[in-house]
Chain A
Amino acid sequence: MPVFHKTKVLTDVPMHYCPGCTHGVVHRLVAECLEELGVAGKTIGVAPVGCAVFAYNYFNLDMAEAAHGRAPAMATGIKRVRPECVVFAYQGDGDLASIGAAETVHAAARGENITVIFINNGIYGMTGGQMAPTTLIGAKATTCPYGRDPKVNGYPVRVSEMLAQLDGPSYIARVSTHNARAVLDAKKHIRRAFEKQIEGKGFALVEVLTGCPTNWAMSPVDALKYVEEQVIPYYPLGVYKDTDKEVR
């Protein structure tokens, strides 16, 4: 009878994530992929500033903690001097798409041979629910308390679509974690994004749609439903770029 084993690439430290948050799920997917690919022993992860700021406590890997938004630059520095290592950045939407937009775009444009896991929950979680670059039009946040108004706050950034326009990336995909099937599918794309790096094909990014029940002021179940019904229509799932095959 098969026995479930937790991946050794995660530590036993209890995670600080809120109930219903799927950061922990994504951590596990990343860890399982690294274990299955047999590269955990030569992997270096770069944690962001944001909810995943303590990711270095959870990944049982050599880890660095970057400045806010600078994980792709720090990962670039690591990867360039240690090309034999697998290097990934794990970032949220404020980190990657707002304060670190330049670092993200240029790491992608350089085709930097790193993997980026991008958690898009449309809100600043760690600081208490402020508007993110990916917050949907009409959605409320503490810095757009009447709902995001494009006249005041501008429009959400579709990161995957944007980066897919560049020549540098080898793989850009958007996945979700709102149900079991989506999670299993997400793992396939995350694994592919690491394989791209191992094959030396260059920048790979997987955008993962997640919920934030705490700051969305929803139950975990409602948050997952919201992702499915409201978020995915604005941020369609799929592979946006794959240099190995035609997409979309």
Chain B
Amino acid sequence: MARQLMKGNEAIAEAAIRAGCRAFFGYPITPQNEIPEYMAAHMAENGGVFVQAESEVAAINMVYGAAAAGFRAMTSSSSPGISLKQEGISYIAASDLPCVIVNIMRAGPGLGGIQSAQGDYFQAVKGGGHGDYKLLVFAPASIQEAVDLMFVAFDKADQYRMPAMILGDGMIGQMMEPVELPPAVDLQSLPEKPWCLRGWDGQGERRIVSSLRIQPEDLEPYLNEQMKKWERIKEDEARAEEYRAEDAEILLTAYGTPARICKSAVEILRAEGIKAGLIRPITLFPFPDRAFRYHAARPEVKGFVSVELSTGQMIEDVRLAVDGKKPVSFFGRCGGAVMSEDEIVAFVKGGAF
């Protein structure tokens, strides 16, 4: 399969179509506009539907409807728009429906800026909407990985009947890199969704999609079952990449594009005789605790540095995983500014701990 030079947003959209997405609902916001634009141009020829919704709120509720009807459905947005979608995301999660939400993050809070940032980690991983729910959160660091994770996101969302999020920084959306696009999935090969709304012909049970469980004796057991599901997900679905970590004494950790900047920093530090390595979480929920626990237990490890395009969000999960066994420090740029590898190197050499 030949490599194509594709912009991240366009590759994400094409990958979604190939992964079986047949319903896209969105609203314009920078820096993710190429996703709805690509969907508008190509969804119909693939037998799918595209609607430019009147708002982010409407878009996620259209996803809610299409997902309830059993179709692979998706929306995309950037940070302020993702905030507006939180209501719908909570309802979709509570209705046990699969869907994919793409967040090409820009700098917040508020209207913030339009440059690349990672300030939505808490929102994606810790909730964002109301109530107890989780999203599967995937954090690609390259266009190829964004493409590959799109297939995983749709499959895992279906498997666990819950929403999945692709959490990319603005650079993932705007950058161009060579990609190999996997072949389109055969929709007939996907597992059946017996629960989906399609009109009830009187055979078997009629289908009701609802997030309403008004009695505590209904809602509590439901949530207890969800907790068990989240534990299984933590056990089975965590993904991380380790880069020169095996003998590292200083472990950088970052997700998305900053992880690639960290790789460059690792090379520079290694060339200067400092044994640095990288742990790159690929799933943010579930967080890859095991990789951190393993390295925290190695005696030669001096500590961890969480490198983020925020004021420090993922670091809380890093600290939980390291569990006090080693120091964890923070290096970040925010507001749309992006660190250079040299800044990371200077931070480590300047005594990160």
Does A65 contact B49, Cβ atoms closer than 8 Å?
A: no
Q: Chain B, 175-206, contact with A by CB distance < 8 Å: what is the 0/1 string?
A: 00000000000000000000001111110001
A106 CA to B53 CA, complexed, in Å: 8
Is A131 close to B, CB under 8 A? Answer: no
Given contacts A56-B210, A81-B71, whether A42 and B65 have CB atoms under 8 Å apart is: no
Give Cα A161–Cα B58 distance, bound, in whole angstroms. 23
Report how far A78 CA is from B207 CA in the complex, Å.
Answer: 14
Pick the residue among B51, B53, B95, B206 that contacts A62 (CB under 8 A).
Answer: B206
CA distance A46 to B62 in the complex (A): 12
- The distance from the CB of A113 to the nearest CB of chain B, in whole angstroms, is 12
Whether a CB of chain B sits under 8 angstroms from the CB of A75 is: yes
Does A207 sit at the interface, judged by CB under 8 A? no
Residue from the set A77, A102, A105 with the largest chain B CB neighbour count within 10 Å: A77
Q: Cβ of A56 and Cβ of B208 under 8 Å apart?
A: yes
Which one of A53, A82, A106 lies within 8 Å of B58 (CB-CB)? Answer: A106
Distance A228 CA – B269 CA, assembled complex (angstroms): 82
User: For A62, what are the chain B residues with a Cβ–Cβ distance below 8 Å?
Assistant: 197-200, 206-208
Q: Which residue of B lies closest to A46 (CB)?
A: B65
Cβ–Cβ contact B55 & A66, under 8 A: no
Q: Is the beta-carbon distance between B65 and A78 smaller than 8 angstroms?
A: yes
Chain B: number of interface residues, binned into ranges: 35 or more
The A-contacting residues of B in range 50-91, CB under 8 angstroms, are 51, 53-55, 57-59, 61-71, 73, 87-88, 91
Contact of A82 among B198, B201, B211 (CB under 8 A): B198
Q: Which of B200-228 contact A (CB under 8 A)?
A: 200-202, 206-212
Contact among A47, A61, A74, A102 with B64 in the assembled complex (CB-CB below 8 Å):
A74
Q: Is A157 an interface residue (CB 8 A)?
A: no
Contacts of A18 in B (CB 8 A): none
Contact A61 B51 (CB under 8 A): no
Asked whether, in the complex, the Cβ of B201 is within 8 Å of the Cβ of A76, the reply is no
- Residues of B1-55 whose CB lies within 8 A of A: 22-23, 25, 49, 51, 53-55
- Known: A80-B51, A81-B49, A82-B69. Contact between A73 and B198, CB under 8 A? no
* Minimum CB–CB distance for B22 against chain A, Å: 7
**B200 engages A61 (CB within 8 Å):** yes
Say yes or no: A103-B58 contact (C-beta < 8 A), given A44-B197, A62-B198, A70-B64: yes
For the complex of A and B, the 10 pairs showing the least CB-CB separation, nearest first, are: A77-B65, A42-B199, A65-B210, A106-B54, A73-B61, A77-B62, A70-B61, A74-B65, A77-B66, A78-B65
Interface-central residue, A53, A67, A103, by most chain B CB under 10 Å: A67
**Given A64-B68, A81-B22, A41:B61 Cβ within 8 A:** no
What bracket does the count of chain A residues touching chain B fall in?
A: 35 or more
A239 at the interface (CB under 8 A from B): no
CA distance A80 to B47 in the complex (A): 11
Q: Are B199 and A81 in contact (CB under 8 A)?
A: no
Apart from A77-B62, A81-B73, A85-B69, 6 more pairs, CB < 8 Å: A44-B198, A64-B64, A74-B61, A76-B51, A82-B69, A106-B58
CA distance A74 to B66 in the complex (A): 8
* CB atoms of B65 and A61 under 8 A apart: no
Does A60 sit at the interface, judged by CB under 8 A? yes
Question: Which chain A residue has the least Cβ–Cβ distance from B88?
Answer: A67
Residue in B61, B207, B210 whose beta carbon sits within 8 Å of that of A77 in the complex:
B61
| Residue of chain A at shortest CB distance from B55 | A102
Q: Which residues of A contact B91 (CB under 8 A)?
A: 66-67
Q: Which of B62, B197, B210 contacts A80 (CB 8 A)?
A: B62
Q: Are A77 and B54 in contact (CB under 8 A)?
A: no
CA gap between A80 and B25 in the complex, in Å: 11
Which residues on the B side are within 8 Å of A81 (C-beta)? 22-23, 49, 65-66, 69-71, 73
Q: Smallest distance from the beta carbon of A161 to chain B beta carbons, Å?
A: 21
Q: Is A63 on the interface with B (CB-CB < 8 A)?
A: yes
Rounded to whole Å, the gap between the CB of A2 and the closest CB of chain B is: 24
Q: Which residues of B contact A102 (CB under 8 A)?
A: 54-55, 57-58
| Complex Cα gap A80–B70 (Å) | 12
Instruction: Tell me if A43 counts as interface (CB < 8 A to partner B).
Output: yes
25 contacting pairs across A/B (C-beta < 8 A)? A41-B199, A41-B200, A41-B202, A42-B199, A43-B199, A46-B65, A62-B206, A62-B207, A64-B68, A65-B209, A65-B210, A67-B88, A73-B62, A74-B65, A76-B65, A77-B25, A77-B61, A77-B62, A77-B67, A78-B197, A81-B66, A81-B71, A82-B197, A82-B198, A106-B53
Q: Mark A31-69, 1 if CB is under 8 A from B, else 0.
A: 000000000011110110000011010001111111100
- Residues of chain B contacted by A82 (CB below 8 angstroms): 69, 197-199
Shortest CB-to-CB span from A137 to chain B, Å, is 29
Chain A residues in 8 Å Cβ range of B23: 77, 80-81
